[in-house]
Amino acid sequence: MNENHSTRTQQFLRLYEVHVRSFERYAWALTRDREWAADLLQSTITEVWQAFDAVRDQQAFPAFVYTVMTRLYGREKRRSARFVPFTQEVANELFTSDLPPDRCADVVALITTINNLTEPLRTTATLFYITDLSMDSIATIQSTTVAAVKMRLLRVRNTLRTVFADMSDVPTEVRS
């Protein structure tokens, strides 16, 4: 029993350590708050550890973690009805002094637009563009079809295209 538990623990830690940065980025992208992201990640890892025997394939581990994290986040958001808007404080954390002012404004507009998306669109965009997951993985995590994921990504791109269409420095191939 102890040897089996030790092997299971080592296997879990090995899988976790490979993807820990991606999990942290996704938690932060969902919550937009460092402390809440840390709490969400801790709760997620606790639940994943308890259900680790259900993971049959090691390649499914990241998708399983993202699914649990997405569901815990949704549950917490529904419970607290708390929304953390993009504030100047957050903007100051994101920007470095080596960015020109016009690029900072672009990033602020981008983040504000993404924050204003509906939850499914924002989550899909985050999973696809920030954590670099495949559409199949996103469909699994969101319990939807690949076609629905593609449609959500199309809506995100169209929304961004509309917002940035008036900006003169946006290349024409992005606007069309």
176 pLDDT more than 50: no
User: Is the sign of the CA dihedral 68, 137, 35, 118 positive or negative?
Assistant: negative
* Separation of alpha carbons 62 and 9, rounded Å: 16
The structure tokens listed for 133 are 């997951």
One-letter amino acid at 17 equals E
pLDDT digits 0-9 by tens, 66-118: 999 999 998 888 776 545 555 666 666 665 556 676 666 777 778 888 888 88
The CATH-assigned architecture of domain 1-84 is Orthogonal Bundle (1.10)
What's the confidence (pLDDT) of residue 82? 47
pLDDT digits 0-9 by tens, 14-65: 999 999 999 999 999 998 888 989 999 999 999 999 999 888 888 889 999 9
Q: Is the separation of the CB atoms in 124 and 156 below 8 Å?
A: yes
* Separation of alpha carbons 73 and 18, rounded Å: 22
